[in-house]
Chain A
């Protein structure tokens, strides 16, 4: 297909290209306007909003398929520029666009915080970051995929080091290192596949069959490479350092969307590209094990954090684990040849991917709002903000409930499907799967309980109880655009939960299209069904209605039984403190609240220390390697370049001796030369 000059707004591909063009133009304009902060913020933001709307317009119609392909000639014969908008890519682009739309709305006020620190550059990198994420997802050629993947890592690297302090720069360095180690592995995987496919086009990869031991090598390389991007344990170490360092709207995109590209990559390599090479059962089990470990350890580490953004970043590790549980079941389904199980598992993973993007984005924006007003990330110095920042508090509460998988919100729906897919997998023939899935379900329950604890702590210590802030009266609600950004995502959390009977079939259709399998029944009317109605049914709208209905009863009881003599509620002077003078620091604190878990799960924190030790050795080794390279660089000069140069100079100096300037000596040279030539020829 050649490029049609007219842009048609009905063609998803044209809208996608339009969205990319707006992003790039907005970024460049923001960079050009860097002298004028206000204009740069507005131009970057408005261009970003327009690009996001176009991105949504491109991706939403494409969710139901069929795949649309855009081709253009590349600079080299192997670098075919191919964009493919299949349902899975459309889902990812929809998530990227929604999150970036909200982040841009939020940025209009939030970025003023950074005025004078180069907001023009920030707008440039943000716009390019979003465009590169869209391109990674849509690229259908290994060469361009790697290019855009690198572009995504680089632009986000610049966002991480934006603060330019020591922590940000060192976090950025670690991020840079891990991101590139990951992309080397991905490149290796693609090279092996290209060898068998004879082309770098993903279309050729899909039909190429890689023989038995090598397909597992490709999968492992891809899994570890993309796993590093996704932030699964033990490759997570960069994530809790890099995400908090970036500005909050960029953290929301990195934690909400960018790490999902890691999961997307695992699905792409393990299910899509290696589809013709056949799924192997242990791949799925491996993903399942990594998912279970990441989910439990992620939340255990999150619990003891005082830094709100670090806490949220560790929760991203946890949720990547939960997504991988679903993806793992999907791959187990392929491995044992049960397409229904495969679709159910992958659908659970994808649903959680969408949900996590939304509530994690919301929570990061909420954290950003709090930091915007208080200028600290330390939760111990917050407290009682619900009174002064009601909108932020309410949105954060919705996000906290959703991430804790509390029914009837969206997090619960996707975890419910994850449980159901684990349950369905437990009936498969393989005893390894029978052994692994109930344990994974138990660990998911443990994760859920820990997440509840963690978010009660986070919401409670930040927004509830007495204020521990130095100037509590100075704190106001954040500007309207920031509130709007958070409220949109809070509404999305509720809608994706209550409208699950409508959303689930769409996502299961995407899972089925990715797997090339038949669709399964996941909803019937207002009921959610995990393929088989005898296994279980759930109805989030019904639960919501019943909860609201049941809440009327205690209110009725209260008014019926209390009689007319009851006095209105009164505020006490202070909470009871066993006779001592109550103090804000006596109430629950972030450290004290999680102390029991720190005590009961002590060994798991020791594990973290050893993982961190390995990584600090890697970083240290790398830094030593650089300084060694710097020291050894002059060696080449001394050993090779210098002797040649010195030799030339020295021999020149010696040659000068015969060139004295005396005409008679030159005549003697000529005569001598003639004599020698004569002797040589006559002889």
Chain B
């Protein structure tokens, strides 16, 4: 069982991510505007959007049931729980009982389950197609994530995210090449999971009216948008915690944790800048062709597996 200080750290980092999520998505909008050479909204625009939506009325389609109503809450709760288990500010996971790689993948599946189900529950055809695509992307991405993380876990001797991160940071792995290649495969899977172009399939704004979000409005839409930007931050934190844990604190000292916070913020901004540049310089992949891309991910992960087997 985690003690009180670990619990506090867990709550702190989950709340920090929640507070920072609209800032990070706002940054993406700024990057996009800069690349379009337009003025664009300010960095804090997403906070203003959320606040405005919270004041509006909730309008629900006639067939919407309890799943539709509770999904934004489940989604946010799920992302917060994942955030408590991920090693973000520290090298170890604050609550290791939910910081296992398998648990994390399946907690994402919990969010995915309700996200897609709400799409069907709304009765909208756009939301239904978005739901189907969301789950299909899960089918294509989860095996890559599992194999890549499994490789890193094998090299570290533990499936605990913190333990893997610690092993990667110390270089105490018997095959560095395998870890790097597994990191590449995982980065690719994480990029797809972000739902950004060219893999913006489920919430395709121009194509499907934002998929499962189509019928949401008012406070529910605000919570959902917030949760989705939180999800992007959590997914990146997951990647950083396992494969780029450099700079995070080794203990619970205040100075160390603050330093870890700074290091994490820098990494987060750099990664989101890179992601922003990629997403604004490519066009959408045709949905039919996504398996070819995910096979690439399987290929990289399998390469890591080969390196692991031969011990390079």
Contact = CB atoms under 8 A, between A and B. Distances in A.
A453 to B, nearest CB: 4
A407 interface: yes
Contacts of A443: 143
B60 interface: yes
Interface stretch (A106-114, A434-442, A484-492, A638-646): A434-442
A557 B56 CA distance: 14
B109 A452 contact: yes
A460 B55 contact: no
Interface in A389-427: 397, 401, 404-407, 412, 415-416, 419-420, 423, 426-427
A578 B125 CA distance: 10
A526 B98 CA distance: 12
Contacts of B67: 386, 397, 464
A587 B132 CA distance: 12
Contacts of B14: 550
B159 A406 contact: no
Interface string B105-126: 1110110110011011111111
Contacts, number: 292
Interface in A119-157: none
A168 B153 CA distance: 49
Contacts of A423: 150, 153-154, 159
Interface residues of A, number: 94
A449 B59 contact: no
A416 B60 contact: no
Interface string A205-225: 000000000000000000000
A542 B95 contact: yes
A416 B103 contact: yes
A207 B48 CA distance: 76
Given A572-B59, A599-B288, A442 B143 contact: yes
Interface stretch (A261-269, A348-356, A503-511, A531-539): A531-539
B100 to A, nearest CB: 5
Contacts of B215: 572, 575-576
Contacts of A366: none
Interface in B46-85: 50-51, 54-63, 65-67, 72-74, 76-78, 80-81, 84
Given A452-B112, A588-B129, A562 B54 contact: yes
Contacts of A426: 154
Contacts of B133: 596
Contact of B214 (A416, A539, A576): A576
A10 interface: no
B220 to A, nearest CB: 8
Contact of B65 (A435, A464, A546, A551): A464
Contacts of A445: 105, 142-143, 145-147
A652 interface: no
Contact of B84 (A387, A456, A546): A546
B136 A596 contact: yes
Contacts of A557: 54, 223, 226
B122 to A, nearest CB: 6
A516 interface: no
B187 to A, nearest CB: 17
A600 B136 contact: yes
Contacts of A578: 126
A457 B98 CA distance: 28
Contact of A465 (B56, B107, B123, B209): B123
Contacts of A397: 67
B157 interface: yes
A672 interface: no
Nearest to A561: B54
Contacts of B117: 456, 459-460, 464
A374 to B, nearest CB: 17
A648 B121 CA distance: 84
B12 interface: no
Given A449-B109, A456-B135, A554 B73 contact: yes
Contacts of A555: 73
Contacts of B66: 386
Interface string A523-561: 001110000001111110011001110110111011001
B200 interface: no
A400 B147 CA distance: 25
Interface size class of B (residues with CB under 8 A): 35 or more
B158 A534 contact: yes
A558 B132 contact: no
B125 A577 contact: yes
Given A438-B151, A576-B124, A569 B58 contact: yes
B181 interface: no
Contacts of B124: 575-577, 582, 587
A569 B59 contact: yes
Interface in B210-252: 214-215, 218-219, 222-223, 226-227
A537 B125 contact: no
Contacts of A415: 102, 106
B139 A597 contact: yes
Given A465-B122, A550-B77, A574-B62, A419 B102 contact: yes
Contacts of B62: 466, 571-575
A660 interface: no
Contacts of A567: 57
A538 B100 contact: yes
B35 interface: no
Interface string A592-623: 11111101100000000000000000000000
A586 interface: yes
Contacts of B57: 566-570
Interface string B285-312: 0011001000000000100010001000
A542 B98 contact: yes
Contacts of B100: 416, 536-538
Contact of B123 (A455, A582, A597): A582
Given A412-B106, A445-B143, A464-B121, A435 B131 contact: no
A450 interface: yes
B97 interface: yes
Given A386-B65, A448-B109, A572 B60 contact: yes
B61 A535 contact: no
B286 to A, nearest CB: 12
> B102, B150, B218: which has the most chain A beta carbons within 10 Å?
B102
Nearest to A542: B97
A404 B84 CA distance: 23
A446 B121 contact: no
A628 interface: no
A650 interface: no
Contacts of B73: 551, 554-555
Contacts of B120: 456-457, 460-461, 464-465, 587-588, 593
Contact of A446 (B142, B153, B209): B142
B261 interface: no
Contacts of B254: none
Nearest to B65: A386
Nearest to A444: B146
B45 interface: no
A35 B57 CA distance: 62
A550 B55 contact: no
Interface of A: 384, 386-387, 397, 401, 404-407, 412, 415-416, 419-420, 423, 426-427, 431, 434-435, 438, 441-446, 448-450, 452-453, 455-457, 459-461, 463-467, 525-527, 534-539, 542-543, 546-548, 550-551, 553-555, 557-558, 561-563, 565-578, 582, 584, 586-588, 592-597, 599-600
> Which A-B residue pairs are the 9 nearest by beta carbons?
A588-B128, A460-B120, A445-B146, A539-B97, A575-B124, A453-B135, A550-B77, A569-B58, A464-B121
11 contacts: A423-B154, A442-B150, A453-B139, A456-B135, A464-B117, A542-B1, A546-B98, A558-B223, A562-B219, A588-B132, A600-B140
Given A448-B142, A547-B77, A596-B132, 5 more contacts: A412-B106, A455-B113, A461-B120, A465-B122, A597-B139
